[in-house]
Amino acid sequence: DKVEQLESALRVLPSLVQLYRIECEEVALELVRVLLNYSSTFEIDDFHHLQLNGLATLTSAYPLTISGYLTKEFYERNYTIQQ
């Protein structure tokens, strides 16, 4: 079930980034893009908490790469306060 896979992925993301910091660097920016643009269309408990935790973990692990992207996205006009 895709919902269960998504929930499992969100739950293990922080651990994977900690364990495989060097390997995850290649995909960190893409993971942030996915997390930032993913809306809770599924019934996942604590989705927003898991999403924020993933974003925070990636930002703290790769601050230069991720903070630059997030700053640029913050000033784009295609986001709402909800996002």
**Average confidence (pLDDT) over 35-59:** 88
Put simply, whether the predicted model's pTM sits higher than 0.75 gets the answer: yes
- Give the pair of three-digit tokens for residue 67: 């903070």
As a whole number of angstroms, the distance between CA 68 and CA 59 comes to 10
Looking at per-residue pLDDT, the higher value among 27 and 74 belongs to 27
Residue 38, φ and ψ in degrees, nearest 5? -85, 130
Q: Which residues contact 56 (CB under 8 A, 6 or more apart)?
A: none
The total of other beta-carbon atoms located within 10 Å of residue 28's CB is 19
Average pLDDT over residues 52-60: 96
What does the chain come to in residues? 83
